[in-house]
A = this chain, B = another copy of it.
Amino acid sequence: MINKLCDKIKKTNAPIVVGLDPMLSYIPEQVQKAAFDAYGETLEGAAEAIWQYNKAIVDAVHDLIPAVKPQIAMYEQFGIEGLKAFQKTVDYCREKDLVVIGDVKRGDIGSTSAAYAVGHLGKVQVGSKTYSAFNEDFATVNPYLGTDGIKPFVDVCKEEKKGLFILVKTSNPSSGEFQDQLIDGRPLYEHVAEKVAAWGEDHMGDSYSYIGAVVGATYPEVGKILRKVMPKSFILVPGYGAQGGKASDLVHYFNEDGLGAIVNSSRGIIAAYKQEKYAQFGPENFADASRQAVLDMIEDINGALQK
């Protein structure tokens, strides 16, 4: 799957991922209305609105991009119905041949991590049968519990040729509270990054490891260092655009081969029609606004990389 991600980035010339993190407030009136007319103002109605919104955006942008990153929390808040919309979204994106990064930030120990891994990336055994539940291609994972918490995910990834992005340095303002604390003179995130590199050696693709890292766009100096600590790990970069990360900041997250990083934008793409820049599309053409925002983001990132 890491090889597929590399191939698709080269083919699209777009080292970007669209974050499918639908908030109801992003979804245009007419989409909400149609869903509520059919199912009422219910969890099912909310899930239908999310699904129709996602589908329209995926239809409008799938040929331009290698990957999507649905954030499961945005679905999980609507309970079972929301999670059905998550599953439909994952399945639909896979049908469109997109690489699906499940932004699930799970992490536990032993058999519990194994259960998450099986549920999101692998197959679960029921009697003599096996089933894939959510079936993403990559999942994001939290490292706080150490190797015990990661190993069961890596094991499933090896079986399924799937991958992980492990939280190293997150994009939020208070990420430094624990992640930046110095241990033997170096911040915790560097220690985590070293472990990511070591875990990744155990599951290599052609040029990159299946085990990648999350490093926020909002800390470019950190990105520069971590690129060197984990030369074979792909870096998933949140925080571009709406959170303040600029394309010029992101150059050092990439390797000389032009690969090694994939930059996420969520709100900036899926709710593009709400920005003044794309206001001419109007809410009725929200998906076209998203397509234009993807084109602009690709140009922005590639422009910076070519410099």
Binding site for B on A (CB under 8 A): 21, 23-24, 32, 36, 41-43, 45-46, 71, 73-74, 76-80, 82-84, 87, 105-113, 115-116, 118-120, 124-129, 131, 133-134, 142-149, 167, 170-179, 181-183, 188, 191-192, 195
Residue of B nearest to A125 (CB): B24
Q: Which residues of chain B are within 8 angstroms of A32 by Cβ–Cβ distance? A: 127
Known A42-B129, A144-B178, A188-B188; further 14 A-B contacts with Cβ < 8 A: A24-B126, A41-B126, A43-B126, A73-B108, A73-B119, A77-B116, A77-B124, A78-B124, A78-B131, A78-B133, A79-B87, A109-B171, A142-B144, A183-B183
Q: Considering the chains assembled together, what is the distance between the CA atoms of A188 and B108 in angstroms?
A: 18
Question: Are B116 and A76 in contact, CB atoms less than 8 angstroms apart?
Answer: yes
- The docked-state distance in angstroms from the alpha carbon of A269 to that of B168 is 36
Q: Which of A77, A107, A188 has the most CB of B within 10 A?
A: A77
Closest B residue by C-beta to A33: B127
- Pair A79/B119 contact, Cβ less than 8 Å: yes
Contact A133 B79 (CB under 8 A): yes
Are the C-beta atoms of A115 and B147 separated by less than 8 Å? no
CA distance A182 to B142 in the complex (A): 20
Given the interface pairs A144-B143, A192-B178, the reply to whether A149 lies near B127 with Cβ below 8 Å is no
Chain B residue nearest to A73 (CB atoms) is B115
Q: Decide yes or no: A80 and B77 within 8 Å by CB, A177-B147, A181-B183 being known contacts.
A: no
Q: CB-nearest residue of chain B relative to A145?
A: B170
Given contacts A127-B32, A144-B142, A178-B188, contact A80 B76 (CB under 8 A): no
Q: Which residue of chain B is the closest to A120 with respect to CB atoms?
A: B76
Note all chain B residues with C-beta closer than 8 A to A76.
Answer: 115-116, 119-120, 133
The one of B108, B109, B191 in contact with A178, judged by C-beta atoms closer than 8 angstroms, is B191
Q: Which single residue of chain B is at the shortest CB-CB distance from A117?
A: B77
Complex Cα distance, B146 from A181, in Å, reads 12
Taking a contact as CB atoms under 8 Å apart, the answer to whether A170 and B109 are in contact is: yes
The complex places the Cα of A61 from the Cα of B175 at a distance, in Å, of: 42
**Contact at B148–A173, with CB atoms within 8 Å?**
yes
Closest 8 CB pairs of A and B: A79-B133, A146-B177, A41-B127, A146-B174, A77-B119, A73-B115, A109-B172, A77-B115
Question: When the two chains form their complex, are residues A126 and B45 in contact, meaning their CB atoms are under 8 A apart?
Answer: yes
Please report the C-alpha to C-alpha distance between residue A126 and residue B79 in the assembled complex, in whole angstroms: 12
Are B112 and A74 in touch, CB under 8 angstroms? yes
In the complex the two chains form, is A144's CB within 8 Å of B41's CB? no
